[in-house]
Structure formats: C-alpha cells, structure tokens
Chains A and B, each alone.
Chain A
Amino acid sequence: MTKYRRADPEISRRKFINVALGTAGAVGGLGLVTALAGVRPPIRITASKVPAIAGDILVYAEGPDAGKPIDISKLNDKLTHAWPQGKDKTGAPVVRKDEPNNLLMVFKFAEAELVAPTDLKATDKGVVAYSGICMHLGCQVGNNASKPGTLLCPCHSGAYDPRAGCKVIGGPPPKPLSQLPIKIDGTGLAATGPLNAPYYGSTESDWASLLEEAKTI
C-alpha cells in the first residue's frame, strides 16, 4: 500500500473555501445583474411617437373637436392644445399622441403683439405654436388665471410669455418653450419643420438622432 504523506498544502482550507465562495458569489451575482438588463426595455419609435415634422397638420387635442384639424378662425389669445398629425408608411393619417411630449399649444395674437425672441418667420398672421410641455420637469403648461396673457406651469409655477417666444418670466424652468414653425394651410395649420429646439427631456444629440430616425418611418 502506498503511503500517502500529506505535503504542505499549497493552499489552506480556509483560503480555498473563501476563494470558492467568492467565485461562486461573483458568478452568481453577475448572473443576476444580466437579469437586470431587461428592466430597461428598448425604445421603439413609431409613427405615433415621432415629433412634429414638416408637412404635419395640427389637430385639436381635446374638446368636442378632438382629432379634427385646427380651425384658425376659432383660435384666440387663449391656449389651444393640439397634436401634430402625420402619415405612416402606408399614407394613413396618424395623430402623434403616443409621445406626450408632442403636445402643442397654439395661439392667435394681433400680429404686432408678437415680439422677439419669437421666431416671427415661423409664425403666420399672428398664429404661433409652441411645445406644451414645461422645460422644467415636463408638466403641461396652462393659462395663468391670475395674470391673463401669460402661461403658468402648475407643477412648480414656471411662467412663460407666449407673445415673446415663450421666454421664461418666472419660476424654475431653465429654457424657453420650443417653437414649432407653422403656416396657414386653407383653414388649418401645417408644420413647416420640426420644433426649433428639443422638447422637454431630450438633449441636442438625442433630438438630432430622433429627427434622423423620423425620416425612416
């Protein structure tokens, strides 16, 4: 019978167990982390989520006429909510309301009332359109009851002036609301291009790639 002599172990029992446990823990942990990768679903852009682009017409977002094209004779200096409506691949009309940040506000002022920094070339006969989403944390901007003629965000009281390019006139919003270039088209309104700046929550580079992607849909 061979006699086994115990050589000095190269690795102590304690060390072995610690290493084994550590490896098992690390591998198991990594396995769990990969499961976490699924918590963030991919973003899929569809025609109903694309931001307003040139050629879109504006439709009422609420009220009895919801979904029908805006009638410019009914517009006034109070806020009117609108969605952009474009076409999908087959040419069927789609209202782009699955992206809540696409909400627009349309006003009609006396032409002389509109002042810089409004992009006057992007307005038509005093009709002007802006993004309806506050640049602060993304609430929907509304009329200011206590200061008529201005807009107020109900969330943290950000205030905007729709006659002056929706520049910030109070509260925390960091940037003015983006303006949508429009032209009058019969009795309705059509966009002549995308918003002049990204809407809430989108960075310049995201915005550029979003518009790029929009062309393919």
Chain B
Amino acid sequence: MNQWLDERLHISRLNDKFLRKAFPVHHSFFLGEITLFSLIVLILTGVLLALSYEPSGVLVKNPMDPMGSLVPAAYASIMNINAMPFGDMLRRIHHWMANLMMGAGLMHMMRIYFTGAYKKPREINWWIGLLLIVFTALTAVTGYSLPFDNFASTTLKVVVGIASSIPWVGEWIGQAAFAGKFPSSGLIPRVYGYHIMLLPGILLALTGAHMLLMIKQKHTQPRYAKELAYKKIVGVPLITQQTPIMLMLALLFTGLVILFAAFIPVHPSEVFGPPGNSSPIVKPDFYLLWVFGILAILPGSLEFNFLGGVFNAEFFGAIVTPGVVIGLLFAVPLIDRSSENQYYAENPTDYPVRLAIGIAFFMMIAVFSVAGYRPELVQSNILKESNANTILWISAVVLPALTYFAVIGIVRGIRKFRETDQREMLAAAAADD
C-alpha cells in the first residue's frame, strides 16, 4: 500500500521530512504531547456533546421537575444529556480534560522556560504557545458558561461586567461580544458559537503552526544527548518508534481521565439549578483563580475618571494586571537575549536568576490564587475583614521576594556542593595516578 500511495502522492518525501522527525526521549518532553492529546479528546467529546446540546435561552419545561417549572432550553438540554447513556460521563470527561489540558499546557510552558528552550531561534514558538494557553483559557470559560445553570449565568454576568469595565469602549464591547445587554436572547447562541467554532478553530490553527515550527526547528535536546553524540540529534523517529510510545501514552492518559471522571463529578448543573434570584458562590477553575483573587482584594473604591473614561477596580484587576502578566511572559525571549546554547535543554541550576524569577513568579500567582479564597479565609477567622486585603497584598510582594532569594541561595549551595564533589573526584583520580 505504501508503494501505491507513494506513486501517487510522493509520500516518501513527506516521510523523510516529517514522519521521521526525531523525538527526544525524556519524561519532561511528554507534557506538550499530553496537551495535544487532551485537545483531541476534547474535540471528540465536544462533538458528541454538541449533537445533543441546545444553544438557546428560550424557556421550556424542566425535564427534572414534575411540576414543569420553566428553565432555559440550554439548561434543559444539559439535563437531557445527563440522562442519556454515558451522557453525564461525556460531560465529566470533557470538563476534566479541559482542566488537564490547561494544567499540562502550563507545565509544558514551565519546562520550556526553565530549560531555556524559548531562546533564539525558538521565540516564535514560545509566542504561539502563549497564545495557545490564552485561547485555551478563553475556550474553557466560554465552555463552562454553556450549561446556563445558576453558576454559569452568574459567571457570565461577571465576565460581561469585566468586559464592560474597559474605559470608553467597554460598554460597546460588552454588548457586541455578548449580543446585547446581559442577558439577551442572543447570549447563549453567541457564546456557543465562540466555544465550538471560533475558539477551537483558532486553537487548531495555532496548534498546527506550533507543530510545524517544532518540526522545522527541532526540539532542544535533553542533556544526555550531549554526552551521547555531541551536536547530533538524538531521539527516536516519529514513525515507527515514537508513534507507539505516543499511542500508549495517549490511551493510558485518556483511560486515567475516564477513570477519574467516573468517580469524581464535575460541575453538577442540577445542583446549581437554573438561573435564579440568588447567586451561588462562584469560583473560576484553578488557572483563573489568581485573576479572581486580585479582583477580591482590590478595593472597589479604586475608581477615577480620566478624559471621560471610567477606570475602575475591575478594569485594573481583571484586564490590566493579567495583561501585564501575559505581556511579561511574551517578553521573556526579548528580555533574555543570550543566544548561547541552541541545542541542549539547559540545566535550570546553571541559570539561578532565571530559575528564581520563574519560581517567584509562580509564588506570586499562588498568593493571588489563595486570595481567591478570601471570603473563606475571613469566615474561618484566619484573616479579619479589616486586615485581609493588607495581609494578602503584603504576602503577594514579600513571599515572592523571599522565594527569589531562597532559590538563589539553594542553587548556590547545590553548585558549591557539586563543585567540591568534582574537585574531590579529580583529586582522588590524581591521587590514584
């Protein structure tokens, strides 16, 4: 068959360039693949869910309520999906996968950062990767708005509120993006369109570009490749050795997620109920908790007028700060312009400052995420209403600073240890002679 195809399509040329791409074998190099598998499973389960989901806010009889109270059709269709064989499972797998895709993507990003793989010539792929993360988050947020239960509608209202907080143009943007004043009848179809067409389209296009660039520029090589064959590409070819590894990993991973999904429910729409007159306690998923935390500890009195535009706390907390954070990540390859070492994954401890900045950064995100639990912290008397904001803000500055110096200190220690070790070994070797 290969020959038959080759005569018509010249696949052997494809074979040489792409299908025999060498993949480094190292566990930290599988994070990106896991992200890709999650995307594939998300698309598969998503297609199945879309077949039964009804993107509409029209009021229909609640299939769960014998009294026949009226609920939005979107919500009713979720109840129907739950009642389908494996319907609830599909929703759980979809939801779990989305969380995992985000998690794996973020860890993949950390690997790239800590091993210096973003450096020239791979800046473009670093940027594409960041865009992928941003759009994955957007896809996830539009996704958990779709069941249109009380939780989802509250979340959406907050999202619309944030979009509308942009000075001058916010009101217009909020209404243009969400089909009129919240909650308009066009709201659910609009978000549905984003979630199943626009955003996945962008994700797929970016993923394609990400892969192509990776094949063109090749992976950085893991450290052991240096000793094995200096400046040569070491790894297993995609066809046929890497493929079974990938398949096994994908199946194993998907199996694990399904197992999890079977036991741990996610987002039980029937518990939240249809949109009503009392908002439930809403929290975003883990990867947006930090934005939520910043919103929770910014005082609402932060608001001023400038040239007719209103600048308020929502704008600073949910648009400016994340914008700055993401902007900084984009700037990483521009800030670190050192172009030595384009072949090998760098040992993080050889670059203590980069390592320390990275870890301090995650510390800061962690503190902000904890701030997302501010109400709970206050309620359980760990913090007081009066001092919660101050304490959380101070920790958001002091803890990362401490982390920074701690990491630098530890790395120094490790290096000294390693150097004396080496010296002793040399001395011992010399003594042997």
Which residues of A are in contact with B by a Cβ distance under 8 Å? 36, 39-43, 61-62, 81, 100, 103, 132, 135-142, 146, 152-159, 168, 170-175, 201, 203
Number of interface residues of B (CB under 8 A): 42
Q: State in angstroms the CA–CA spacing of A100 and B184 once bound together.
A: 10
Of listed A61, A136, A152, residue having the most chain B CB within 10 A: A136
Q: Is the interface of A mostly helix, strand, loop or mixed?
A: loop
| A43–B278 touching, CB < 8 Å | no
| A136–B296 touching, CB < 8 Å | no
Binds A, one of B109-117, B279-287, B403-411: B279-287
Q: Which residues of A contact B279 (CB under 8 A)?
A: 139-142, 153-155
B179 in complex: contacting residue of A39, A61, A141, CB < 8 Å = A39
B300 in complex: contacting residue of A40, A81, A100, A158, CB < 8 Å = A158
Q: Which residues of B contact A141 (CB under 8 A)?
A: 279
Chain A residue nearest to B280 (CB atoms) is A154
Is B64 an interface residue, CB under 8 A from the partner? no
Chain A residue nearest to B385 (CB atoms) is A170
| B161–A146 touching, CB < 8 Å | no
Chain B residue nearest to A79 (CB atoms) is B278
Nearest CB of chain B from residue A35's CB, rounded to whole Å: 12
Is B201 an interface residue, CB under 8 A from the partner? no
| A154–B277 touching, CB < 8 Å | no
| B162–A155 touching, CB < 8 Å | no
Q: Which residues of B contact A100 (CB under 8 A)?
A: 182-183
Given contacts A132-B277, A142-B278, contact A156 B295 (CB under 8 A): yes
Nearest CB of chain A from residue B377's CB, rounded to whole Å: 10
| A40–B164 touching, CB < 8 Å | no
| A138–B299 touching, CB < 8 Å | no
Q: Which residues of A contact B184 (CB under 8 A)?
A: 41
| B277–A139 touching, CB < 8 Å | no
Chain B residue nearest to A103 (CB atoms) is B277
Nearest CB of chain B from residue A194's CB, rounded to whole Å: 18
Q: State in angstroms the CA–CA spacing of A136 and B314 once bound together.
A: 8
| A136–B181 touching, CB < 8 Å | no
Is B313 an interface residue, CB under 8 A from the partner? yes
Given contacts A40-B175, A139-B157, contact A157 B296 (CB under 8 A): yes
Q: State in angstroms the CA–CA spacing of A156 and B158 once bound together.
A: 10
Given contacts A138-B161, A155-B154, A174-B301, contact A39 B176 (CB under 8 A): yes
Is B172 an interface residue, CB under 8 A from the partner? yes
- Sample (15) of A-B pairs whose CB atoms are under 8 Å apart: A39-B176, A42-B180, A81-B278, A100-B182, A132-B277, A136-B314, A138-B158, A138-B160, A141-B279, A154-B282, A155-B158, A155-B279, A173-B300, A174-B313, A201-B182
Q: Which residues of A contact B313 (CB under 8 A)?
A: 172, 174
Q: State in angstroms the CA–CA spacing of A81 and B279 once bound together.
A: 13
Is B268 an interface residue, CB under 8 A from the partner? no
| B179–A174 touching, CB < 8 Å | no
| B164–A201 touching, CB < 8 Å | yes
Q: State in angstroms the CA–CA spacing of A43 and B385 once bound together.
A: 40
Chain B residue nearest to A206 (CB atoms) is B171
Q: Which residues of B contact A159 (CB under 8 A)?
A: 385
Is B234 an interface residue, CB under 8 A from the partner? no
Of listed B160, B180, B310, residue having the most chain A CB within 10 A: B180
Nearest CB of chain B from residue A175's CB, rounded to whole Å: 8
Q: Which residues of A contact B301 (CB under 8 A)?
A: 174
Chain B residue nearest to A156 (CB atoms) is B296
| B172–A140 touching, CB < 8 Å | no
Nearest CB of chain B from residue A100's CB, rounded to whole Å: 7
| B183–A172 touching, CB < 8 Å | no
Q: Which residues of B contact A139 (CB under 8 A)?
A: 154, 157-158, 279, 282
Taken residue by residue from 364 to 392, chain B's Cβ proximity to chain A (1 for < 8 Å, 0 otherwise) reads as: 00000000001100110000010000000
- Report B309-340 residues with CB < 8 Å from chain A CB: 310, 312-314
Is B237 an interface residue, CB under 8 A from the partner? no
Q: Which residues of A contact B378 (CB under 8 A)?
A: 157
- Report B264-313 residues with CB < 8 Å from chain A CB: 276-282, 292, 295-296, 298-301, 303, 310, 312-313
| A43–B180 touching, CB < 8 Å | yes
Is B186 an interface residue, CB under 8 A from the partner? yes
| B278–A157 touching, CB < 8 Å | no
Q: State in angstroms the CA–CA spacing of A195 and B250 once bound together.
A: 58
Of listed A62, A100, A168, residue having the most chain B CB within 10 A: A100
User: Which 6 residue pairs across A and B have the least CB separation, nearest first?
Assistant: A157-B375, A137-B161, A174-B300, A172-B300, A139-B279, A40-B176
Q: State in angstroms the CA–CA spacing of A70 and B186 once bound together.
A: 33
- Report B221-255 residues with CB < 8 Å from chain A CB: none
A40 in complex: contacting residue of B161, B180, B375, CB < 8 Å = B180
Nearest CB of chain B from residue A104's CB, rounded to whole Å: 10
Q: Which residues of B contact A171 (CB under 8 A)?
A: 296, 300
Q: Which residues of B contact A152 (CB under 8 A)?
A: 375
| A41–B180 touching, CB < 8 Å | yes
Q: Which residues of A contact B180 (CB under 8 A)?
A: 40-43
Nearest CB of chain A from residue B102's CB, rounded to whole Å: 22
Nearest CB of chain A from residue B370's CB, rounded to whole Å: 14
Chain A residue nearest to B301 (CB atoms) is A174
